[in-house]
Amino acid sequence: MQRRYNEFLAVNKALNERWPGCYIPAIPEKQFIGDKDEGFVEERRQLLERFIHECSKYQYIIESAEFQMFAKEGGEVTERFEKMPKQTPGQILEKFRLNFPKIQEESANEMAQYRDRINTFSQFLSKCQQANQQNRDSMQQSVKHQKQNSDDYKQLYTILMQYEASALEYFSENDMNSRVLTHPKAGDLNENLTTMVANFRNPFLEAAVWIKGEMLDIAGMLNAMKGRDLVMKRQLATEGRKRDD
């Protein structure tokens, strides 16, 4: 089953909204300019595959109604996510109790300590994200330079072969044994060069994709922390209404 990027975007949004406070792997951001570029499309494909792989590590995700709809039901799923009934705070909390039975109620003092630790960790992740972005920007520049070097070498060999074909034909009276790059036994070097360049794996590109994957992991954790704050506010509001009643 094939899914479009917008469907990945839809399931990611649905999981974040319906599992607030839980870690949901992030997906690459929507891009409006350059989204047809071959390099961009390939990187996004790898990162979306990574998203599926990361989701498979968490039972509460792969067994969720949202992910099951995305993975098993055919056809367009975006509208079906939008039509899913909204959950009440009570339903969300009950779902959490069923999926995370080891979580126990803690004292107010312990909860305050957890909040401090989470806030500290969130600040640390934000700094890591900034450093990762700088590293990725630097790596993407290296990707461009490496690709340019590869193209330059191919162009150089092409020019040398053209020179040999024209110059040696004049100076050696077309003696094929005097040739090197265009010697018959060398085969079709130009075609081989084209194939070699096409199959070349740019190590800087792989590193740039890896860094982006790490950035998406951090984005998922930061989103979980934001969702947790939302759950806490809803829980307090629900408890307040119960006391009023």
What mean pLDDT do residues 225-229 have? 85
The whole model's pTM is what? 0.76
**Which carries the bigger pLDDT value, residue 72 or residue 170?**
72
Q: Is the pLDDT of residue 183 over 70?
A: no
Average pLDDT over residues 147-158: 82
The residue length of the chain stands at 245
Using alpha carbons only, give the angle 20, 23, 29 rounded to the nearest 5 degrees. 90
Mean predicted confidence (pLDDT) in 12-30: 93
Predicted local distance difference test score (pLDDT) of residue 68: 94
Task: Give the model's confidence band at 240: pLDDT under 50 very low, under 70 low, under 90 confident, else very high.
Answer: confident
Question: Is the pLDDT score of 11 beyond 70?
Answer: yes
Above 90 in pLDDT, residue 155?
Answer: no
Per-residue pLDDT reduced to its tens digit, 53-99: 999 999 999 999 999 999 988 888 899 999 999 988 788 888 888 88
pLDDT over 90 (residue 210)? yes
Which pairs count as long-range contacts for 212-215, CB under 8 Å and 24+ apart, including other chains?
212/28, 212/43, 212/47, 212/136, 213/47, 213/50, 214/132, 215/129, 215/132, 215/133, 215/136
Domain 1-104 belongs to what architecture? 2-Layer Sandwich (3.30)
Highest mean pLDDT among 100-104, 108-112, 123-127, 181-185: 123-127
pLDDT of residue 109: 81
Check pLDDT > 80 for residue 124: yes
User: Would you say 189 and 161 are in contact if contact means Cβ atoms under 8 Å apart?
Assistant: yes
Average pLDDT, the chain: 84
Question: What ranges do the domains of the chain cover?
Answer: 1-104, 107-245
